[in-house]
Amino acid sequence: DIQMTQSPSSLSASVGDRVTITCRASQSISNYLNWYQQKPGKAPKLLIYAASSLQSGVPSRFSGSGSGTDFSLTISSLQPEDFATYYCQQNYNIPRTFGQGTKVET
């Protein structure tokens, strides 16, 4: 199975900050990498797919980059509604696997 490791596990930030979360795969996954945002009590929401493509309706302050084994999610200017937990997920092969999550808090 491909292991997905996110860092940091949590971070403290303020509104307006630039925030970057990294995700590392245990083997190359090309660009088969997705990012999700989850708020308490809610289902995850797809933000970024194929490493860098913005899902329809997602604000442009979210961006993704990377290929192979190293990826990142950047929020260019953190907004109040962005405080949440973020997960990366690979769809290179089965089983689909997620990172452990990164909680962005104030």
Residues binding other proteins (CB under 8 A): 1, 32, 34, 36, 38, 43-46, 49-50, 55, 87, 89, 91, 94-101
- Least Å distance between CB 98 and other proteins? 5
Least separation in angstroms between CB 5 and other proteins:
12
Of residues 62 and 87, the one with the C-beta less far from other proteins: 87
Going from the C-alpha of 71 to that of each of 2, 79, 96, 97, the distances in angstroms are 14, 22, 17, 15
